[in-house]
A and B are shown apart, each in its own frame.
Chain A
Amino acid sequence: KQEVTQIPAALSVPEGENLVLNCSFTDSAIYNLQWFRQDPGKGLTSLLLIQSSQREQTSGRLNASLDKSSGRSTLYIAASQPGDSATYLCAVKGGGGADGLTFGKGTHLIIQP
């Protein structure tokens, strides 16, 4: 059974810093990996989707990498802003591709103004 772990569970940094969020998964036979943002009491906003054949994806100040063989992904946030404060979720989709997502518990990020 796939398990997804996110480290750290919480992170608080001053505005402007670059930071890295970590995600690991136990079964490397994934279809894709996705990073989401969840604001309190709200739904999920997809940030980046990496297919199993890809190594990284970039969107603005966000960069996500994937090392499928080692079961790891990182989300890099450059020049952090207070508006980046949220919970960041990592989720993987099973190898067959037709499955639902398996989520980590998330990293609760606070960017101090």
Chain B
Amino acid sequence: DQQVKQNSPSLSVQEGRISILNCDYTNSMFDYFLWYKKYPAEGPTFLISISSIKDKNEDGRFTVFLNKSAKHLSLHIVPSQPGDSAVYFCAARKAGNQFYFGTGTSLTVIP
């Protein structure tokens, strides 16, 4: 049973435009949500996180929005750059540092 879902396996965006990656979850006990970025043949690297008590967190070009009532979060990348092309994983944490990951969205930023 997938508790964290990323329903879009892939996304293509023009350089300079906004990339929006979406994530849905089912478990209301999650207290933190994170986004990881993964390049081929490398491990995931942490990008940005948000507490369940917040609705927005911003770090440079990256902003994460959380809608608790809809159990939905999104990652906005503005402006998108070719170096952003990677697989993005959404993750959610339950108490005790157990993390549940989505299936990933492959982002391609077209120059």
A and B associate in one complex: no
Which residues of B pack against A, CB within 8 Å? none
Which residues of A pack against B, CB within 8 Å? none
